């Protein structure tokens, strides 16, 4: 397979001359190609089969122990001037970055196969989708891109029809941490990644394209590329709503995306349209419409079991690529908190000994097609996307944030999103309660200056007349003994029900300085047995805590100087004034 797109053909020839591969393979995305690469990796030992009786068509890949996570400190946005990317990114001049990367790529694919991987982020026929091509020397990348994107001949055909595409050049290099960089060039829509085979660093369609590059594209083209799940809900009355939600890590994002209704809500239907990334476009109907640019899941495995996330647990019993999990004696994948089996071989491929640490790496992963999820909806392929009724932001706060509150306006909602933060746990850092600000859950992924990003968000109030309502949730309120006050998991649907009712104007709420909170009768908790005093603490605020929070957040906003949008500063002053009175 070759291409009629001369720009693509010339780029492939230029990269081949530089990297000097043994052969070039244009990937067509077929099932037979996928199986051929699987078989090749099984033969050379870079992949191993898991128990075919319990986990049919499941495979295990073990990474180099020094290559197991994203490398944010080695990830750069490369533009003409540093103020365009802001303090929320690492910046490098374009010329310096290209000189550094070209030196690394020279001759790096000698003796290897160079794969040309055309892909489409989003439904093939959607006007909201964008295409890219990743050139890589990693067969692991190819098989993951097959599951994660619309990859192959159809994507190439769209590229040839439209002309434009994001260029992603990747090599695993020597897997040397000292020779590992990820460079983004948003002004020319290109990415260069060297020295890592880990998904977030090597699957360039994911965080690199679908968030960092796409957020820059979205600013220029008038849409939003966000670190958000997309969830569909149908009430027993047959009313359907779609919600987009953004959470920092360890705040329950995947669990909410694959929520299973509790017994009291068994007549509700839930669809997972996306668990990680949403592209939000203004529709002709004046609403924000969302597509999921991805076609699969690249999820963290530890902690996943039949109780915490039944849908995720069930879907990775087949047709899944596991990375850095442990194995049982009979070849089943194993990870911490799986609640089944006993580890025999750890994530490094050695005999498991508890003294050596976790059996599965804490960041071990599964890759699986979205169609394996029982909550999959064919609307994930809808060219027009789905209309978003509500946008939810969330964080992990022990005391400060109530269970749920609604922003008073779109502009106030942008302030709520900008103020997203989580408190650390002892397991994460050794310190409890350290506040980490992660605006819109985009701190590692926004490809340009946060001040300009907030300004872009604010601009939608002038362009759309049916904007989603904005909410904030906090599943993690605790008492003095550290016990969670809210049951969470499936019961979070009760909060979503309240949110939908608020969007429709069907339920009253109590106005507070920070937004609208549920009143005593507004949110259904009748069968939960929550103590009235506990419930009151879940739906109320402590003004002094919020005054301190707004002071600290104000210092953060001030760090953006004159670039901070005046509307955002005004919203912050309004909340402060309301709290003061």
Q: Annotated active-site positions, please?
A: 251
Q: Is 227 marked as binding a ligand?
A: yes
Instruction: Give whole-number Cα distances, 363 to 181, 200, 225, 250, 336, in Å.
Output: 20, 11, 24, 12, 11
Q: Is 551 marked as binding a ligand?
A: no
Q: Is 364 marked as binding a ligand?
A: yes
The four Cα atoms 81, 84, 88, 91 give a dihedral, to 10 degrees, of -20
Q: Is 510 marked as binding a ligand?
A: no
Q: Is 80 marked as binding a ligand?
A: no
Q: CA 232, 233, 238, 240 torsion: positive or negative?
A: negative
Residues 6+ apart with CB under 8 A from 81: none
C-beta separation of 128 from 279 below 8 A: yes
- Tell how far CA 38 is from the center of its chain: 26
Q: Is 396 marked as binding a ligand?
A: yes
C-beta separation of 124 from 118 below 8 A: no
Q: Is 253 marked as binding a ligand?
A: yes
Instruction: Give whole-number Cα distances, 45 to 39, 52, 68, 234, 301, in Å.
Output: 10, 17, 18, 46, 22
Q: Is 363 marked as binding a ligand?
A: yes
Q: Is 489 marked as binding a ligand?
A: yes
Q: Is 255 marked as binding a ligand?
A: yes
Q: Is 492 marked as binding a ligand?
A: yes
DSSP per residue over 148-186, as a string? HSEESHHHHHHHHHH---EEEEEE-TT--GGG-EEEEEG
Q: Is 276 marked as binding a ligand?
A: yes
What gap in Å lies between CA 545 and CA 413, rounded to an integer? Answer: 20
Q: Is 491 marked as binding a ligand?
A: yes
CB count within 10 Å of CB 77 equals 27
Residue 97's closest CA among 105, 108, 87? 105
Residue numbering of the annotated binding site for Mn(2+): 207, 227, 276
Residue numbering of the annotated binding site: 70, 198-200, 207, 227, 249-255, 276, 363-365, 396, 489-492
Residue numbering of the annotated binding site for substrate: 70, 198-200, 249, 363-365
């Amino acid at each position: 397979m070759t291409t009629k797109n001369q720009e693509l053909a010339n780029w492939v020839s230029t990269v081949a001359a530089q990297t000097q591969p043994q052969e070039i393979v244009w990937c067509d995305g077929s099932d037979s190609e996928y199986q051929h690469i699987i078989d090749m990796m099984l033969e050379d030992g870079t992949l191993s089969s898991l128990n075919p009786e319990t986990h049919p068509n499941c495979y295990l890949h073990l990474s180099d122990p020094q290559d197991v996570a994203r490398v944010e400190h080695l990830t750069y946005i490369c533009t003409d001037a540093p103020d365009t990317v802001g303090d929320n990114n690492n910046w490098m001049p374009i010329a310096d970055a290209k000189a550094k990367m070209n030196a690394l790529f020279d001759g790096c694919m000698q003796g290897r196969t160079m794969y040309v991987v055309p892909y489409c982020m989003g439904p093939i026929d959607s006007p909201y989708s964008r295409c890219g091509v990743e050139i890589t020397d990693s067969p692991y990348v190819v098989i993951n891109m097959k599951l994660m994107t619309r990859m192959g001949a159809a994507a190439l055909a769209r590229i040839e029809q439209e002309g434009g595409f994001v260029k992603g050049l990747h090599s695993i290099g020597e897997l040397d941490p000292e020779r590992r960089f990820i460079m983004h060039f948003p002004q020319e829509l290109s990415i260069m990644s060297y020295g890592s085979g880990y998904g977030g660093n090597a699957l360039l369609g994911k965080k690199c394209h679908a968030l960092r590059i796409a957020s820059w594209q979205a600013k220029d083209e008038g849409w939003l590329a966000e670190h958000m799940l997309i969830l569909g809900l149908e009430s027993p009355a047959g009313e359907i709503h779609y919600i987009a939600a953004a959470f920092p890590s360890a705040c329950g994002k995947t669990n909410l995306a694959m929520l299973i209704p509790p017994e009291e809500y068994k007549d509700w239907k839930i669809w997972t349209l996306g668990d990680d990334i949403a592209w939000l476009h203004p529709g002709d109907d004046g609403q924000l419409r969302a597509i999921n640019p991805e076609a699969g899941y690249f999820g963290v495995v530890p902690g996943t079991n039949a109780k915490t996330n039944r849908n995720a647990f069930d879907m990775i019993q087949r047709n899944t690529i596991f990375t850095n999990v442990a194995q049982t004696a009979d070849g089943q994948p194993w990870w911490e908190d799986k609640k089944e089996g006993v580890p025999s071989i750890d994530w490094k491929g050695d005999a498991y000994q508890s003294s050596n640490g976790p059996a599965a790496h804490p960041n071990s992963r599964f890759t699986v097609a979205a169609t394996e999820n029982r909550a999959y909806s064919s609307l994930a392929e809808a060219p027009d996307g789905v209309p978003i009724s509500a946008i939810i932001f969330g964080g992990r706060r022990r005391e400060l944030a109530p269970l749920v509150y609604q922003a008073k306006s779109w502009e106030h909602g942008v302030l709520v999103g900008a103020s997203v933060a989580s408190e650390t746990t002892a397991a994460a850092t050794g310190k409890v309660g350290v506040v980490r600000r992660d605006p819109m859950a985009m701190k590692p992924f926004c490809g340009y200056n946060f001040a300009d990003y907030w300004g872009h968000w604010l601009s939608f109030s002038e362009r759309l007349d049916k904007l989603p309502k904005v909410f904030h949730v906090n599943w993690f309120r605790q008492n003095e003994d550290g016990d969670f006050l809210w049951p969470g998991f499936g019961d979070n649907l009760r909060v979503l029900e309240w949110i939908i009712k608020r969007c429709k104007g069907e339920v009253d709420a109590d106005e507070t300085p920070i937004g609208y909170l549920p009143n005593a009768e507004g949110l259904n908790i009748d069968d939960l047995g929550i103590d009235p005093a506990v419930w009151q603490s879940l739906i109320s605020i402590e003004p002094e805590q919020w005054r301190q929070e707004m002071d600290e957040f104000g210092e953060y906003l001030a760090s953006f100087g004159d670039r901070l949008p005046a509307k955002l500063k005004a919203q912050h002053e309004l909340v402060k004034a309301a709290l003061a009175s």
